[in-house]
Amino acid sequence: MTRHKVFLLVFTIFMSIVSAFGQKDGARPNIVLIMGDDIGFSDIGSFGGEIETPNIDRLANEGMRFTTFYNMAKCSPTRSSLLAGLYTGGNGAVHLANLTKKSGYTNIMSGKEHFDNWVPEYCKAENAFDHSFSFWATTEYFLPPSGKFSEPYFLEGKQLDPSNIKHEISPMYQTDFITDYALNWLDESINGEDKPFFLYLPYHAAHYPLQARPEDIKKYRGKYKKGWDELRIERFNKMQKLGVIPKNAQLSPPEKDLNRKGKPFVLEYKEYYPWDDLSQEKKDSLDLEMAVYAAIVDRMDQNIGRVLKKLEEENKLENTIILFLVDNGSCPFFKNQITDVQPGPANSYWSLRTSWANLGNTPYRQYKQAGHEGGSHTPFIAYWPHKIKPNTITDQPAHVVDIAPTFLDILGMEYPETIEGYATEPLHGTSLIPIFEGKKREEPDYFISGVRNMRMFRSGDYKIVQMNGGTWELYNLKTDPTELNNIASSYPEKVKELDEKYKTSPLGRMDVRKSRKQNKN
């Protein structure tokens, strides 16, 4: 072999190694963390839904889908646990952006901020990020707001008059201008700084109110007239083919059938109706309701596509890890505060009713706030070119508290000992990197979700969960993944074992203290 051929061979091998890792030796990947709001496990196309989500599906098909990923079942506790890596905490909590900032990243946030009371002030958007555009909790999608339901917007921590919000498309629509701000700051970072970036993009979609652009609604009008009963079966069959649910999973019946013999819930869900019993006029109205919801999800996906396009144009996608998740399962608390306006326009205020939320959470039981799988178990996608094998599906369970230790591994850094003068709170999760690499992770000892009195505690295959402060239910998720058979009465020792472990966990100790205080009062 000639010297020239040897050189070419060595050079080819070298370039293939560089390509395989998608980065120069020592270069750190950019990180994009995207969150949806109140979206059910089966709503995304790559998880079984009929809603058009080609950009999220691209991340799934070129990355990894988790079949079992837990959140805290409600907006604010999920965001708190996600960004701090803690089930509960206080001073000493470390925000994800504290980690990336210490590693020399540019930190950008655009979207919804909603924390529990335990989250320290220094973790708020304007204190943690270099650039932030944020709002708190529920807002309208269209601007200017009607003034009835909107929370204020903040730019770099200062309240911003809605008329001064920068936007590219009129009328102003929240999902679009959230992305506008993110892309503008991305452009500044990419073209003005030789630094990696962390972009946190927590959308409000598809939280109520049901407001969407007319052209997006039109795409789905009429697609839901077959009804929730038939659509749940269709989604379930698709999910089985995709492999995103266990092979032994069964489709749970409408929730009223499961709970007919139990005591009434404190949380009241509107009555389920067989679709075929409804009038054509009612079916048309319900079709519109779900079409608007689908349009909100669709618009979010379109904006995720804008981010992917920007990263591709700037040659950054190959060295960017993108994580997509949802804060909790679909929301069942139907409300319509403006009775003479149909869902869709800026002056409407509808939310999904229980039966549509039940479709979103296919094949699981229950909804937002509940520790049952329908409330706590939502899509999670990890995309990392040349690191994660494309189109892989893992059944290893994980939780939002695992994101912070995953960041530490990505950044190659140690967890800080102090933050803002406080000793740091030890992280509650473990890194997902072994799973990303196709290995078996040592499963955490437990996972917790659900709001207080609707808590779940899972350890191994077994899970205890309560509803409205009732007695613990017990499920073996390996044999009964959709929680159809409560085996608490048959295995009281297992219930006791899990209850004792729960009470010694950080969140369990907090719940016990609150219960004692409540009982004294």
Other C-beta atoms closer than 10 Å to the C-beta of 316 total 18
Give the CATH number for residue 223. 3.40.720.10
pLDDT score recorded for residue 259: 43
Please list the pLDDT of the chain residue by residue as tens digits (521 residues): 444 444 444 333 333 333 333 344 358 899 999 999 999 999 999 999 999 999 999 999 999 999 999 999 999 999 999 999 999 999 999 999 999 999 999 999 999 999 999 999 999 999 999 999 999 887 899 987 665 667 899 999 999 988 899 999 999 999 999 999 999 999 999 998 889 999 999 999 999 999 999 999 999 999 999 999 999 999 999 999 999 999 999 999 886 544 433 443 445 566 678 999 999 999 999 999 999 999 999 999 999 999 999 999 999 999 999 999 999 999 998 877 666 789 999 988 899 999 999 999 999 999 999 999 999 999 999 999 999 999 999 999 999 999 999 999 999 999 999 999 999 999 999 999 999 999 999 999 999 999 999 999 999 999 999 998 899 999 999 999 999 999 999 999 999 999 999 999 999 999 888 877 777 76
- Tally of structural domains, the chain: 1
pLDDT score recorded for residue 48: 98
Instruction: Give me the half-sphere count of Cα atoms (radius 13 Å) on the Cβ side of residue 331.
Output: 20
Q: Is residue 461 domain-resident?
A: no
pLDDT score recorded for residue 137: 81
pLDDT score recorded for residue 295: 98
Q: Is residue 164 domain-resident?
A: yes
Domain that holds residue 133: 27-442
Q: Is residue 475 domain-resident?
A: no
What is the reported pTM? 0.92
Q: Is residue 466 domain-resident?
A: no
Q: Is residue 395 domain-resident?
A: yes
Token pair of 337 as six digits: 């505060």
Q: Is residue 35 classed as helix, strand or coil in its secondary structure?
A: strand
- In sequence order, the β-bridge partners of residue 448 are 457
Q: Is residue 149 domain-resident?
A: yes
Residues 6+ away with beta carbon under 8 Å from 278: 227, 286
pLDDT score recorded for residue 149: 62
Q: How far apart are CA 188 and CA 179, in angstroms?
A: 14
Phi-psi region of 483 (alpha: psi -120 to 50; beta: other; left: phi over 0): left
Q: Is residue 488 domain-resident?
A: no
Q: Is residue 354 domain-resident?
A: yes
